[in-house]
Amino acid sequence: MKEAWAKDSSSVILLDMAWIEFSVSDVDGEVAEALCEMLSAHAPGRVVVEENRLHASLGDLPGRERKGFVASFEVKAFVEIPDDAEDRVLTEKTRKLKEAAHYLKAIRSFPDPVVRRLPDVNWEEAWREKHGRIKPGNKIVVVPSWDEGDFEPGDLPVRIEPGMAFGVGSHPSTKLCITLLEDTLRPGDRVLDVGCGTGVLTVAAKSLGAGSVLACDVDGESALSTREALGQNDRQDDPSIGIVHGSIECFSGKIDLVVINILAHVIAAMIPDVSRLLAPGGRFVFSGILSEAEKMLVEKITEEGLVIDERRTIVDWVGLQGRRM
Ligand SMILES: C[S@@+](CC[C@H](N)C(=O)[O-])C[C@H]1O[C@@H](n2cnc3c(N)ncnc32)[C@H](O)[C@@H]1O
């Protein structure tokens, strides 16, 4: 009998299941994100993005200085099929995945997906091994919910269940957000986390001393994951945290700090609302910005009269921190 696992919201169940792996390698960050979203519909909670290689991008002329690095990602989705499934089931699942990838390919080209039936392994163990602790800055440590280990003095653990939503702390854009939050958030701040995903930044903001945190996401599953994260971090009854299934336009009143980790064109459309909601002197942290989209976003930010104070990068991802005058 093959031993695999599936998960509902509260428990791990053993099932007689086999798995197929659908993978696309050598894609850039934007395609990886789009594939991740597309594949999550077919393999909820079982999509992994791995940063594979860093290619040094050198100048054209001999002796010219290294310009930077370009990341290459591999996206893998694990789809369960009954252990005794006939080839017909496998073919049908594969067809659906390939069809979805085909539509994406019409917009941005990427290498052909590779599909294989996986050997009999313990997937619960394999999954857990993949997700370790992540400490992007000096204080916040993102840990998988099952990690019962000790922490260094000053560590602020954020427990996250790697599952349906984006945000286990491993993505460069989340790391940028966490380090910028550590340096920007002031005790007592009223914080808004737009696109909360797993709730990693909501919990991080509260642990860093926020007075209140409002979190929102257009994806209902993410709003639920954030609620789950509050439970994992013993904050389920904290009246100073609110979660909304929706986006920035749902909010009124004033906030001191807004954090948004979504692709640049989505942030750009939110800038008027950011300006409306920030109290004078209020700060923003934006991440999820691929370097090629930075110029467009910076123009939008400055047009609105907001000021950028800090720029950080990890590979080709950019994080910006600034304020309303
Ligand atoms: C890149 S993930 C960030 C998750 C988490 N905040 C983190 O930093 O790891 C982006 C999240 O934004 C959500 N999202 C996308 N567009 C949105 C919008 N217009 N308003 C609110 N949330 C949005 C997605 O559902 C997703 O959960």
CA distances 28 to 120, 173, 184, Å, are 31, 14, 29
Distance, CA of 265 to CA of 262 (rounded, Å): 8
Tell me if 194 CB under 6 Å of ligand 1. yes
Of residues 263 and 208, more confidence is placed in: 208
Query: What is the position in ligand 1's atom list of the atom closest to the CA of 168?
Result: 9
Query: What is the position in ligand 1's atom list of the atom closest to the CA of 217?
Result: 22
The answer to whether 71 touches 51, Cβ cutoff 8 Å, is yes
My answer on whether 105 and 186 are in the same domain is no
Query: What is the position in ligand 1's atom list of the atom closest to the CA of 269?
Result: 19
Tell me if 205 CB under 6 Å of ligand 1. no
In a domain, 113, yes or no: yes
In a domain, 207, yes or no: yes
The answer to whether 32 touches 52, Cβ cutoff 8 Å, is no
Which of 12, 4, 24 is CA-nearest to residue 80?
A: 4
Residue of 219, 243, 251, 270 to mutate, ligand 1, most atoms within 8 A of C-beta: 219
User: How much distance in Å is there from the Cα of 25 to the middle of ligand 1?
Assistant: 24
Query: What is the position in ligand 1's atom list of the atom closest to the CA of 202?
Result: 6
CATH number of the structural domain spanning residue 222: 3.40.50.150
Tell me if 226 CB under 6 Å of ligand 1. no
Tell me if 40 CB under 6 Å of ligand 1. no
> 123, 138, 161 — which closes off a domain?
123
Give the range among 21-30, 234-243, 313-322 with minimum mean pLDDT: 21-30
Tell me if 247 CB under 6 Å of ligand 1. yes
In a domain, 87, yes or no: yes
Q: With 70 as the cut, is the pLDDT of residue 75 above it? A: yes
Which of 190, 183, 165 is CA-nearest to residue 261?
A: 165
- β partners of residue 314: 317
Tell me if 170 CB under 6 Å of ligand 1. no
**Backbone dihedral angles phi then psi of residue 60, each to the nearest 5 degrees:** -75, -30
Q: pLDDT grade, residue 152 (50/70/90)?
A: very high
Give burial (CB, 10 Å; 0-12/13-18/19+) of 99: exposed
My answer on whether 94 and 220 are in the same domain is no
My answer on whether 191 and 304 are in the same domain is yes
- At a CB cut-off of 8 Å and minimum separation 6, what does 168 contact? 131, 134, 142, 144, 160, 162, 174, 198, 200
Position 54 scores a pLDDT of 44
- Work out the angle at residue 136's Cα, subtended by the Cα atoms of residues 285 and 311, and round it to the nearest 5 degrees: 35
Tell me if 200 CB under 6 Å of ligand 1. yes
- At a CB cut-off of 8 Å and minimum separation 6, what does 24 contact? 31, 35, 74, 75, 101, 110, 111, 112, 113, 114
Residue of 221, 262, 271, 274 to mutate, ligand 1, most atoms within 8 A of C-beta: 262
CA distances 128 to 29, 100, 143, 163, 168, Å, are 24, 28, 11, 11, 12
E strand intervals along the chain: 4-7, 12-15, 17-27, 47-58, 66-82, 114-117, 140-144, 156-160, 190-194, 212-217, 241-245, 255-261, 278-290, 306-314, 317-324
In a domain, 159, yes or no: no
User: How much distance in Å is there from the Cα of 262 to the middle of ligand 1?
Assistant: 5
My answer on whether 176 and 320 are in the same domain is yes
My answer on whether 233 and 295 are in the same domain is yes
Position 145 scores a pLDDT of 87
In a domain, 144, yes or no: no
pLDDT (average), residues 280-301:
95
My answer on whether 88 and 198 are in the same domain is no
My answer on whether 177 and 239 are in the same domain is yes
The answer to whether 77 touches 21, Cβ cutoff 8 Å, is yes
Q: Which helix (H) or strand (E) holds 124?
A: helix 123-130
- Domains in the chain, number: 2
My answer on whether 286 and 228 are in the same domain is yes
Maximum mean pLDDT: which of 15-24, 34-43, 66-75: 34-43
pLDDT (average), residues 221-230:
92
Position 92 scores a pLDDT of 80
User: Which residue's CA is the nearest one to ligand 1's atom 8?
Assistant: 174
In a domain, 129, yes or no: no
My answer on whether 95 and 220 are in the same domain is no
Q: With 50 as the cut, is the pLDDT of residue 1 above it? A: no
Residue keyed to tokens 């989209």: 293
My answer on whether 105 and 216 are in the same domain is no
For the chain, the average pLDDT equals 82
User: How much distance in Å is there from the Cα of 192 to the middle of ligand 1?
Assistant: 13
Residue 52 belongs to domain spanning:
4-59+67-123
Tell me if 273 CB under 6 Å of ligand 1. no
My answer on whether 38 and 114 are in the same domain is yes
User: How much distance in Å is there from the Cα of 172 to the middle of ligand 1?
Assistant: 14
Count how many residues are written for the chain: 325
- Amino acid residing at 246: G
- Work out the angle at residue 287's Cα, subtended by the Cα atoms of residues 283 and 292, and round it to the nearest 5 degrees: 125
Q: With 80 as the cut, is the pLDDT of residue 158 above it? A: yes
Residue of 37, 222, 251 to mutate, ligand 1, most atoms within 8 A of C-beta: 222
Q: 10 Å Cβ neighbour count for 153?
A: 4
In a domain, 153, yes or no: no
Q: 10 Å Cβ neighbour count for 25?
A: 17
Q: With 80 as the cut, is the pLDDT of residue 2 above it? A: no
My answer on whether 111 and 178 are in the same domain is no
Query: What is the position in ligand 1's atom list of the atom closest to the CA of 270?
Result: 19
In a domain, 167, yes or no: no
Position 6 scores a pLDDT of 26
